[in-house]
Amino acid sequence: MLVYDYALKFLKELGGCMMEDKKIVCKDCGEEFVFTAGEQEFYKEKGFDNEPKRCKPCRDARKQNNRR
């Protein structure tokens, strides 16, 4: 078995393959932001099904407005 085949088998057994950074457009400001592989892994571990729809500054502003 080739090393590549072994690596693919190993990743499938872990429940998926390596994640890559994703570019997403913020629904509030329209700016593009990066949903990093690390953030995706965190979302997966926490059981979150949806990707973020807002960039960090817009999420923070929304939280601040909801606290008032």
Q: What are the tens digits of pLDDT across the range 30-56?
A: 999 999 999 999 999 999 999 999 999
Between the two ends of the chain, the Cα-to-Cα distance in Å is 61
Taking the C-alpha atoms of residue 3 and residue 9, their distance in angstroms, rounded to an integer, is: 10
Q: Look at residue 18 in the predicted model and tell me its pLDDT.
A: 75
Instruction: Tell me 54's DSSP state.
Output: S
Taking the C-alpha atoms of residue 53 and residue 68, their distance in angstroms, rounded to an integer, is: 22
Q: Look at residue 19 in the predicted model and tell me its pLDDT.
A: 85
Please check the confidence at residue 26 and state whether its pLDDT lies above 90: yes
Give the whole-number percent of the chain exceeding pLDDT 90: 68
Between residues 18 and 10, which one has the greater pLDDT?
A: 18
